[in-house]
Amino acid sequence: MTAQLQAVEAFRAFAEKTTGQPASVGLLSTGESIAVQVVTGSREFTSLDLANRRAVLSLDVLSKFKEQEQAYGFLCGIANACDTARLGAPVVNAEARSEPLFVGTDGDYWIYSLSVSLRVMI
């Protein structure tokens, strides 16, 4: 398993523990859910001796709940916890890049999105 896959799984588990709600990697389910998606990534750093390399993954965390307060609140909790998260190797850190944003509604469900930068040693 690559460092990037390990990092995404660590962040998914962190989101699940932080919110107390099941979280998946991929698309939102048809019901209430939290999903983590990898949007893009880039190389951030390579040491001169090539021994240390770091990538940055841009994650989109989506929250879909019938109660607007829950959809927004769960993502606020994740954003607030990112600053002090100790996700462990290979994750260097997780940084919320924005406050939760309203995406839209899907029937009776409210959908919010949170952008997160995940730095990973590769």
94-115: pLDDT as tens digits: 999 999 999 999 999 999 999 9
pLDDT in tens, 69-98: 999 999 999 999 998 998 988 999 999 999
> How far is residue 91's CA from residue 4's CA, in Å, rounded to a whole number?
9
Residue scoring higher pLDDT (41 or 72): 72
Greater confidence (54 vs 14) lies with 14
Instruction: Please report which helix (H) or strand (E) contains residue 81, including its range.
Output: helix 68-82
Query: What is the DSSP pairing of strand 53-65 with strand 109-121?
Result: antiparallel
Identify which of 5, 13, 22, 4 has the alpha carbon closest to the alpha carbon of residue 85.
13
| Main-chain phi, psi angles of 47, to 5 degrees | -70, 160
Is pLDDT of 19 > 90?
yes
